[in-house]
Structure 1
Amino acid sequence: MRHKYIGFAYISPWLIGFFGLTLFPFFASLYYSFTDYSMIDAARFIGLDNYEKLFTDDNKFVQSLKVTWTYVLFSVPLKMILALMIAMLLNVKMRGIYFYRTVYYLPSIFGGSVAVAVLWKFLFMRNGLVNEALAKLSIGPVDWLGSPHLALYTIGLLPVWEFGSAMVLFLAALKNIPKDLYESAKVDGASKAKSFFYVTLPFLTPIILFNLIMSIINSFQQFTPALVITNGGPLQSTYLYGLMLYDNAFQFFKMGYASAQSWVLFIMITALAFAIFRSSRYWVHYEDGGR
């Protein structure tokens, strides 16, 4: 029993964090989603009114869903493709390769921080470095952040730039592909393109599945770029779901309504992840033949 108590003492910080900062808020938000709660007054149970208002009487909800889905469909595929391309480029033996791998991973260390978002804003301002570089090519200034047609795609490039974590996983998977398979494909007359599609890609499908799920979850929860860079503008063209949730919770103090929004987001992400897992039996391949 003494050893058990010592073990519990060591994991107690994690247990406190899990129950106090994860599990309890998780179920508390479910309860508050059925209440009218503002953090100032006591919560008042109102049933499904928050959900009814969300789906029938909130134009911002529909707009934020459109913006968020566009953001996810734009940023996730680009991030996956770029991470795989860089991983294949770094999957070589050369002097200083570990340095280059570290450099390419650095953006993921900073992550979606406020500092990086501010840097992104300065890069793409009307008089920012990107437009200054374009001016050298005699290209007029582009209103990257002020145009409703470009702003969302501009901030959507930020998570693409943070491809390091996905790249590391792709790189580890590439190193586990048996070299004799490439030699056999070469003997059979397969080109490099066919070797990629028939040898490399099938071995990478488990990692593609993992990176796809994690990237989708992170993209749906994005909040910092929309707040710091554009504050949801112009004309709500970058009004991501996370920003709408933040506004209702901490700008208007509609905690019950924001809790309902968070549960709608949770259900939407869960349903999408489940659908991807269900479809994986048709395109994910494992070495032992399992699916």
Structure 2
Amino acid sequence: MGKNSKKYKIFHLYRERTFFLFISPWLIGFLVLTLFPMGYSLFAAFTRWDGITEPIWTGWNNFENLLFNDSAFWIGVKNTFVYTFISVPLNLCIAFILAVLVNKKLFASNFFRSVFYMPTIISGVAIFMAWGYILDPASGIMNYFLSLLGIPGPGWLTTEGGAMPSIIFMQVYNLGTPLIIVLAGLQGVPRMYYEAARIDGASSLRQFWHITIPMMSPVIFYNMVMQIILALQVFMVPWVMTEGGPNKAIYTMNIHLYSNAFRYSRFGYASAIAWVLFLIILVFSILVFRFSKYWVFYQED
């Protein structure tokens, strides 16, 4: 028994060492590339630092200036919230409806599934540059088709009123990931629920409302959380299209962060913006999780 116990301990120790050996690349990467930068950015948020010279401790000065003296930051907050509150519901609803239609295996459903997902696997910059040509007020395809109908084309990205709807439309078009997630969830709903409802005389609409939506609520919840986080961090679309213009019409919090860090070399101030954005995302996430108990249902419920 003593020899067997010793062999078991040696084997167990070997397995532990092997486990840590295989996980060490990820662990080292997490510590060096994630945890340390986060910790240093928290320190930098309380300093005046240009990224080259020694940081100078300023206490809460960056946060005070950001919250009470920086009008551009509040423009970014407003635009980010407007973008989030409009784009997220649109994205979720359109992705859900298209997934339901594709799941019915209608004519060419596999083709449309590929078409809807295609923007996700293409470079985002390339897609948004293409949209820039499409929405160009002088030579864009969109205004050309409107002119054929006798409608004067607006300046989609060159006017304050047209810039925000344009980037929301562009981002909603890129709904491949939430659509595929919803589609996978729909295919996991047990068919017996629909068969029982059909026997009881429930219409297709009642089946959708009382079976599909409750059974899909965990998937909707997951998509909602991810889309809110991504929308609050929006940067690429408004930056590639107009760099936040015209007149800061699509100027977001992340553009303000980027501008302060890489245009003005105010890395301490940019770190303060990053942590305020982190807290905003954290509050939104907590609220969504807190209220999820009222509308998210699981099979065991």
Same fold (TM over 0.5): yes
Match of 1:285 in 2: 297
Note the alpha carbon deviations across 1:214-267, whole angstroms, 9 max, x for none.
001011111111111011111111001110100001001110111000000000
In terms of mean alpha carbon deviation, does 136-145 or 176-185 score higher?
176-185
Match of 1:236 in 2: 248
Whichever of the two has the greater Rg, that structure is 2
Alignment of 1:39-188 (within 5 A): 39-93=51-105, 97-110=109-122, 113-126=124-137, 127-188=139-200
Match of 2:212 in 1: 200
- Residue 290 (structure 2) pairs with residue 265 (structure 1): no
Note the alpha carbon deviations across 1:1-21, whole angstroms, 9 max, x for none.
555555444444322321111
- Which ranges of structure 1 fall in alignment gaps of 5 or more residues? none
Structure 2 CA distance, aligned partners of 1:75 and 1:250? Answer: 28
Structure 1 CA distance, aligned partners of 2:109 and 2:249? Answer: 41
Deviation of 1:125 after TM superposition, in Å, equals: 1.1
Deviation of 1:179 after TM superposition, in Å, equals: 2.0
Structure 2 CA distance, aligned partners of 1:130 and 1:59? Answer: 34
**Compared with structure 1, are the counterparts of its residues 129 and 13 closer, same or farther at alpha carbon in structure 2 (3 Å cutoff)?**
farther
**Compared with structure 1, are the counterparts of its residues 77 and 8 closer, same or farther at alpha carbon in structure 2 (3 Å cutoff)?**
same
Structure 2 CA distance, aligned partners of 1:94 and 1:232? Answer: 41
Conservation of the 8 A alpha-carbon contact between 1:74 and 1:153 = no
Match of 1:223 in 2: 235
Deviation of 1:61 after TM superposition, in Å, equals: 1.1
> Residue 160 of structure 2 aligns to a residue in which SS?
coil
Structure 2 CA distance, aligned partners of 1:227 and 1:98? Answer: 34
In terms of mean alpha carbon deviation, does 22-31 or 176-185 score higher?
176-185
Deviation of 1:158 after TM superposition, in Å, equals: 2.1
Over aligned residues, Cα RMSD in angstroms? Answer: 1.7
Deviation of 1:185 after TM superposition, in Å, equals: 2.5
Structure 1 CA distance, aligned partners of 2:208 and 2:274? Answer: 41
The percentage of counterpart residues that share the same residue type is 37
Structure 2 CA distance, aligned partners of 1:49 and 1:199? Answer: 54
When the two structures are superposed, what TM-score results if normalisation uses the length of structure 1? 0.93
Note the alpha carbon deviations across 1:4-43, whole angstroms, 9 max, x for none.
5554444443223211111111111111001111112210
The letter for the 2-side match of 1:201 is: I
Conservation of the 8 A alpha-carbon contact between 2:156 and 2:163 = yes
**Compared with structure 1, are the counterparts of its residues 157 and 17 closer, same or farther at alpha carbon in structure 2 (3 Å cutoff)?**
farther
The letter for the 1-side match of 2:289 is: F
Conservation of the 8 A alpha-carbon contact between 2:154 and 2:162 = no
The letter for the 1-side match of 2:275 is: W
Question: How many residue pairs end up in the alignment?
Answer: 288
Conservation of the 8 A alpha-carbon contact between 1:50 and 1:257 = yes
Alignment of 1:33-44 (within 5 A): 33-44=45-56
